[in-house]
Chains A and B, each alone.
Chain A
Amino acid sequence: MAEPEVSSAASAGGWRLRNAFGGVLCAFTLLLIGVLAFSIRLFSVIKYESVIHEFDPYFNFRVTQFLSKNGIYEFWNWFDDRTWYPLGRVIGGTVYPGLTLTAGTIWWLLNSLNIPLSVETVCVFTAPIFSANASWATYLLTKEAKGTGAGLMAAAILAMVPSYISRSVAGSYDNEAVAIFALIFTFYLYVKTLNTGSLFYATLNALSYFYMVCSWGGYTFIINLIPMHVLLCIVTGRYSSRLYIAYAPLVILGTLLAALVPVVGFNAVMTSEHFASFLVFIILHVVALVYYIKGLLTPRLFKVAMTFVITVGLTYASKYIPIIASVSEHQPPTWPSYFMDINVLAFLIPAGIISCFLPLSDASSFMVLYLVTAVYFSGVMVRLMLVLAPAACILSGIALSAAFDVLTRSIKFQLSKLFDDSPAASGDSSPESSSAGTVNTNSTKSESRTEKSETAPKEKPSKKNRKKEKEVAESVPVRPKKEKRLLVLPFELSVMGILLLIVLGGFYVVHCVWAAAEAYSAPSIVLTSRNRDGLHVFDDFREAYGWLSHNTDVDDKVASWWDYGYQTTAMANRTVIVDNNTWNNTHIATVGTAMSSPEKAAWEIFNSLDVKYVLVVFGGLVGYPSDDINKFLWMVRIGGGVFPHIKEADYLRDGNYRVDAQATPTMLNCLMYKLCYYRFVETDGKGYDRVRGYEIGKKHFKLTHFEEVFTTHHWMVRIYKLKPQKNRVRGKLKKLKSNSKTSSTLAAGQKKNPWQ
């Protein structure tokens, strides 16, 4: 903040001291906010252990391991033959490399500093580290729009917003973890460029955009939101050369850089998501040209040109609406989702919107636009709540900061008046607060009026300059009007208001801690349940993957439903047929068909794919609801979609998938049923399925083409081996046996497996 020149040297010294103290306090607060953002995400590590949680992160982890072992060039050209057998997958060209490269760099840096952390540890803590970065970026962004106080408030709120916690707890090693930081930082640099008009920040902005493109497919949000803001500025007559500098380099450099990312490539210029940015780029040039010509033209001609531009803008907007409307296949959230994910911020955002309009600057209009688009998209698709979270935090921070500003000012001024009646003393003791307190409505209004009247300023004064002007303008007329009443509220009610806002904030903190600890920190790889006896831990998944990696051959192929593909490759290091990257529908349908076929047909399918082991997840014994029987309908549907001999109706009784006595014969004979319920009756004598809540239909049966090789402690994972092919001719059988023996000994000689 610039100090008015009229103030005396003494007060300038005092002010400098205060400013320095404020700076130190601010830095310290930011440090604490970073610590808060990091530590609130550690519940999963404290409650369970330092592991990676979900399905997708295991893939990212495996890629990072590969990167740290083989270096960046190998990673770039990596063809992975462990998945999608026999097709394989080109990894380097089909992933967003941002997260992997970030974690790889952190690991490399730590190791070169002789801090020997494992790749897994680095991966587990990448998301919390970047949450701290994101809250600092939020501080910077909000500070650009509404000052330091709002910035600190917004950063503190963002550090613990549940919506963001849900995707960034320790162990959730997913793209969003770094992408949200990149998103906020890109917006910060854009607003910074808009406020300063500096090409340096514009270049940084393009680089930050490049990082975002590397990290997440959600970068299209940026490349649509910023053009929308530019268009809005143009349409409302706020064009300036700063706007041009903020936008034109971003489009050119950003697009060139984005095309460097293999997974984006020529999509950066050829797909419709990017067209908006180019269209606005053209409009911006037309407008820039018009503003240049304006000096040469009569005002009247200029206005005709303006009309033309506005019409073009409107046609663009109307064209854009169907694109937005077409997203409507996605999952819309209900109102409790908002309360769960942004909690009391939902109450504060409207106040933030209004604060942004009083007065409206380029930066604050960007905030409002960001919020409005994000809240709309989140209303269409619940996953985009994550994009809404930063906007919600920024606007709530602005609202809370404005409210605290007014209330503390009221208390501070009237408190000093209570102790000391002389108004001059109070004025001297808090020159800043009184001058801020007497912010005359007229001055702000007149300023906005001047802004309006000059519809097309050649170059608006930058924000800093304007602030300076404003303060100068205020401080001059304010002094004589000291006796005029200050903009304050009643003392006792202000105290009450502050207390209530603190209670509201306290509730937010309690909710966030609860959400972080209870709702979002449960890994799906280790499960727990509580009952009267105490805590039960189900570690069956790792047990099964451990068994696979120790007891099977390195080149054996394991078939399972695609959900478990990433984990099998990462934890068991075995080749899988399908995995969570669902790029080949036919392949998934083949596995689905095998699972829904009778034993013999399934064996033939699996044998044709060289599969040796089949893995199923079964929750009937412990009551784990997301098991393969509950996912079975997708296997039937996807399988039936490609192979018409699988008909869903054959598995349905009265429209339901049932596995009890009423189940259809097809259901009771399919491979999935048999593999899940084989020997199940031996557990309790009745075959009672705890997930479905009834006794199973067919209890005693034998497997002809598969043999059980491993079942985990709680029966959650069961692994079966395909029986060798039966031979009709005796002599051949012997020959084959001896062949397979030699081959297996050969294989055993190659691999280092202490268990065989």
Chain B
Amino acid sequence: MAPAPPRHLLLLLPLLLLAAAPAGADDLVAELQSLRARSPSGVIHLTDTSVTRFLSAPASRRPYSVLLFFDAAALHSKPDLHLPQLRTEFALLAASFHDRNPGSGDLFFADIEFAESQHSFHQFGVNSLPHVRLIRPEHSTLAGSEQMDQSHFGRLADSMAEFVESRTGLEVGPIVRPPLLSRNQIILLGILFLISIPFAIKRVIEGETLLHDRRVWMAGALFVYFFSVSGGMYGIIRHTPMFLTDRSDPDKLVFFYQGSGMQLGAEGFAVGFLYTLVGLMIAGVTHLLVKVESLQTQRFAMMAVIAIGWWAVRKVIFLDNWKTGYSIHTFWPSSWRIWNHPH
């Protein structure tokens, strides 16, 4: 992120401008270009003063458009807003645009932080995040500028690029994403792979690979089972956090969410663990414990298994009833009934 320019300079500039003849449009463009050059990603960091300077100027002296990203450091920790992710995507968009149009003076990318520029947030009328605005030359007031629709955040940088292209007519070009692994890492992995090939071939020929070990298959099967019944895929697909903080008491953590439509990561894994634990204990008694010689060990282990199993099953039933609100009840023949039950 670009370091904010020295504040006294920024304060001074408007004064100078007022005193002297109004700065030409070219000056502003040149200034923005130099600010952009100083920022590694090409996103200019704006503050209240620079907003006044670059964006509140009359349209005749503002021949450029600015795409402004509203950021708030305090909200970066909220997982459902995805602010950090959107900010990186915004930087990618800026970088891709500059790759395509080097030295362009038509469109600038900028961001603004809530804590240091509350006044500007107010001026734009921004009260919820994520929020991106496009200020084009023909917009006379800040609040009149165009807000990027929620749907344009959907596919991240690509959909933002579509928005920019459709509104400004400028070409953004393909989004250039940094590769997942750098070139050196790929080379290193390649070398490691090449080295391991002879060893692997030797093992395969001897029939001693992991594929031939039943325990690996068993562990794998159990893990897939554990992961699926925990609702792990739910966590991955819906991006649910492991736990939440209590709204009324920020120090308290909420691990269990009431209501069957949603689950948190931790509660799923806890219940999945209980599911798997009971199963493993039954298997242990049936296949392992019978082979133990000592009667005392058998007795002790079985008591432990029965106690833990009883507790685990009860716990899951209790949690399920609590979470879903179902009350499971039996059905008896009506002639057995002494009193008239409402059912």
Contacts and interface: CB of A to CB of B under 8 A. Distances in A.
A355 B306 CA distance: 19
B287 A510 contact: no
B225 interface: yes
B153 interface: no
B125 to A, nearest CB: 15
Nearest to B296: A490
Interface string B321-343: 00110101111000000000010
Interface centre among B201, B268, B286, B331 (most CB of A within 10 A): B286
A432 to B, nearest CB: 17
A485 B299 CA distance: 16
Nearest to B280: A350
Contact of B205 (A307, A337, A452): A307
A100 B340 CA distance: 44
Given A354-B218, A360-B214, A371-B225, A332 B237 contact: yes
A397 to B, nearest CB: 13
Interface string A369-405: 0011001101110000000000000000001001101
B201 A493 contact: no
A265 interface: no
A708 to B, nearest CB: 37
B271 A350 contact: no
A335 B293 contact: no
B298 interface: yes
A158 interface: no
B234 A346 contact: no
A351 B225 CA distance: 11
Given A335-B267, A513-B330, A354 B299 contact: no
A399 B309 CA distance: 15
A387 to B, nearest CB: 13
B42 interface: no
Nearest to B267: A335
A351 B284 CA distance: 8
Interface string B283-296: 10111011101010
B231 interface: yes
Interface in A307-364: 307, 310, 328, 332-340, 344, 346-355, 357-358, 360
B217 interface: yes
A517 interface: yes
Interface string A505-536: 00100110110010100000000001000000
Interface stretch (B32-40, B155-163, B255-263): B255-263
Main secondary structure of the interface of B (DSSP, over half): helix
Given A455-B207, A514-B329, A490 B298 contact: yes
A355 B283 contact: yes
Given A328-B237, A335-B268, A378 B285 contact: no
Given A307-B204, A510-B330, A351 B280 contact: yes
B205 A303 contact: yes
B243 interface: no
A601 interface: no
Most chain B CB atoms below 10 A, which of A335, A372, A405: A335
Given A310-B204, A513-B330, A504 B302 contact: no
Contact of B282 (A336, A337, A348, A496): A348
Given A237-B212, A335-B272, A493-B299, A514 B287 contact: no
A335 B230 contact: yes
Nearest to B209: A310
B233 interface: yes
B331 A399 contact: no
A379 B283 CA distance: 24
A512 to B, nearest CB: 10
Contacts of B232: 379
Contacts of B328: 510-511, 514
B233 A334 contact: no
B152 to A, nearest CB: 14
A235 B283 contact: no
A351 B205 contact: no
Contact of A350 (B204, B212, B222, B317): B222
Contact of B228 (A357, A375, A406): A375
Contact of A236 (B211, B224, B263, B285): B211
A235 B209 CA distance: 11
Contacts of B342: 530
A489 interface: yes
A513 B261 contact: no
Contacts of A222: none
B276 interface: yes
A355 B287 contact: yes
A349 B280 contact: no
A199 B342 CA distance: 59
B229 A338 contact: yes
Nearest to B310: A500
Among A333, A347, A355, residue most surrounded by chain B Cβ atoms (within 10 Å): A347
B4 interface: no
B48 interface: no
A346 B231 CA distance: 13
Contacts of B211: 235-236, 310
A600 to B, nearest CB: 30
B170 interface: no
A609 interface: no
Interface string A679-695: 00000000000000000
Interface string B104-141: 00000000000000000000000000000000000000
A537 interface: no
Given A328-B237, A347-B279, A493-B302, 6 more contacts: A236-B217, A338-B231, A352-B279, A485-B293, A510-B328, A517-B331
6 contacts: A333-B234, A334-B231, A334-B263, A349-B275, A351-B282, A357-B214
Give the top 6 A-B pairs by smallest Cβ distance, nearest first.
A350-B279, A379-B228, A354-B283, A351-B283, A379-B233, A334-B263
